[in-house]
Amino acid sequence: MSLRDNVINASGGWTDAAAPETDVVVSSRVRVARNMAGRPFPHCLSSEEAQQVIEQVRLAIASTGFMSGEGRFVLIKMAELTPVERQILVEKHLISPDLLNSPEKKAVVLSDDELISIMINEEDHLRIQCLMPGLQVLRAWDLVNGIDDSMEKQIEYAFSGTMGYLTTCPTNVGTGLRASVMVHLPGLTLVGQLKGVLTMVSKLGLAVRGLYGEGTEASGNFFQVSNQITLGHAEEDIVNNLVLVTRQILAQERAAREALLSERREQLEDKVGRAYGVLRHARLITADEAMRLLSDLRLGAYLDLIQGLPPHLVTELMLLSRPAFLLRMAGKELNPFQLNVQRSNLIRQKLAELSGGE
């Protein structure tokens, strides 16, 4: 499958609903920030220097053997993708929004299964990322660490014996490691405990952000929880602390869902049923409304409140209903009204197929 085939495909390695703890933990992500010794940081690079960095990364990856055989990596320059295709990579969480700026200077390396992405000339020369389904932070760290070690044999990193890995942003200095989980917390929201849990998380040294990370709003009760400090902490400690806190969040969200089932089952069934009804029959749905309704539907799928609804379909709809996916499938520009029509048509069609076209 070519990269462009992957771009339009809403399923990916991190969307596997059979992974551990996916009822609450949608995905786990680990990335490390690295810079090349002797080169200006990316925001100071000329166009020629940026191309030199991209070529140096390409040669390094080729030397590791990652570009051949099973699990092959592919390097593509951002300028070779259309603006819509670039945005789809953001919507799939394979690249950051920052990689959309000055695309002529930037590139990404993707593995065939889309679990690994290496962003080139983002905020740092290299952002090596692994995105896994469910609660698999330790597995993601193992994969990133292995790739990082292989790359370091080919590229001299900017490193200080006292400060660790040198990065553009001071908050990344040290290990350069950011570990995060995307969690779905509708139960805690409905029982009124979300604010207390998020406050607890912050006191434990973790940051809570929106669906697409730093600077984004929470949507559909989806949150990203990540470490805040990279200096003075070992990589293993950062990863293990995140897993420990995530398991506490996981337990509290499941307890909230059980309380809702036992004490407010009718209200819960009504909320899920209404979401299903609107998604099944509406002719106009905005992106924000779709996320809220699909959040309710995802909760219902995992609690078996809607028979025959596979959770992976809800995840697929969450991606397919995003603006860039809709534009790519339409093959033309759409105004906001047309996007809302296209979104509702798509969701209705997918849900009708599930119920045999009824």
* DSSP string for residues in 194-253: HHHHHHHHHHTTEEEEBTTBTT---BTTEEEEEE---TTS-HHHHHHHHHHHHHHHHHHH
Average pLDDT over residues 32-52: 96
Q: What percent of the chain has pLDDT over 90?
A: 75
Instruction: Please calculate the CA angle 101-169-87 and round it to the nearest 5 degrees.
Output: 25
Mean pLDDT for 200-228 is 79
The CA radius of gyration of the chain, in Å to the nearest whole number, is 21
Instruction: Compute the distance between CA of residue 221 and CA of residue 183 in angstroms, rounded to an integer.
Output: 8
Checking if the pLDDT of 110 tops 80, the result is: yes
For position 322, what pLDDT does the model report? 93
Q: Containing H/E element for 350? A: helix 336-354
**Reported confidence tier of residue 167, pLDDT bands at 50, 70, 90:** very high
Q: How far apart are CA 306 and CA 101, in angstroms?
A: 42
The mean pLDDT value for 79-93 works out to 93
Q: Is the pLDDT of residue 150 over 90?
A: yes
- d(CA 186, CA 349) in angstroms, rounded, equals 26
Instruction: Give dist(CA 117, CA 173) in Å, integer.
Output: 21
Task: Determine the distance from the C-alpha atom of residue 287 to the mean position of all C-alpha atoms in its chain, rounded to a whole number.
Answer: 17
User: Is residue 97 very low, low, confident or very high in pLDDT (cuts 50, 70, 90)?
Assistant: very high
| Whether residue 71 has pLDDT greater than 70 | no
Which one-letter amino acid corresponds to residue 110?
L
What pLDDT does 1 receive?
A: 47
- Whether the pLDDT of residue 355 is over 50: the answer is yes
Asked whether residue 34 carries a pLDDT value surpassing 90, the answer given is yes
Q: Is the pLDDT of residue 350 over 70?
A: yes
> Residue 317 pairs with which residues in a beta bridge?
none
Q: How far is CA 132 from CA 28, 62, 106, 136, in A?
A: 5, 24, 24, 6
> From the CB of residue 198, how many other CB atoms can be counted at a distance below 10 Å?
18
Torsion of CA 233, 235, 237, 242, to 10 degrees: 110
User: Against a cut of 0.75, is the pTM above it?
Assistant: yes
Task: Return the SS3 of 266.
Answer: helix
Residue showing tokens 């509708």: 186
Mean residue pLDDT of the chain comes to 90
**Higher-pLDDT residue of 343, 19:** 343
* DSSP output for 45-88: --HHHHHHHHHHHHHHHHHHTTTSSTT-EEEEEGGGS-HHHHHH
Q: Closest Cα to residue 39, out of 147, 152, 156?
A: 156
Percent of the chain topping pLDDT 70: 91
Look at residue 37 and tell me whether its pLDDT is greater than 80.
yes
pLDDT(51) > 90 = yes
324: tokens are 């860039």
In contact, 21 and 251? CB cutoff 8 Å: no
Give the confidence band of 9 by pLDDT, cuts at 50, 70, 90: low
Structure confidence at residue 219 as a pLDDT band (50, 70, 90): confident
* Mean pLDDT across 2-28: 76
Q: Tell me: the pLDDT tens digits for 240-282? A: 999 999 999 999 999 999 999 999 999 999 999 999 999 999 9
For the segment 151-180, the average pLDDT, to the nearest whole number, is 91
Least confident of 31-35, 90-94, 212-216, 289-293: 212-216
Q: Is the dihedral of CA 133, 139, 140, 144 positive or negative?
A: negative
**Residue 10: what pLDDT?**
65
CATH topology of domain 3-257: Creatine Kinase; Chain A, domain 2 (3.30.590)
| pLDDT confidence bin for 6, thresholds 50/70/90 | low
Sheet order of strands, 177-184 included: 73-77, 107-111, 116-120, 126-133, 25-34, 177-184, 222-227, 206-209
Q: What is the pLDDT averaged over residues 107-135?
A: 95
> What value does the mean pLDDT take over residues 12-32?
88
Residue 140, pLDDT above cutoff 90: yes
Q: Tokens 């330790």 sit at which residue?
A: 138
DSSP character string of 120-132: ESSSSSEEEEEEE
Least confident of 3-17, 43-57, 317-331, 337-351: 3-17
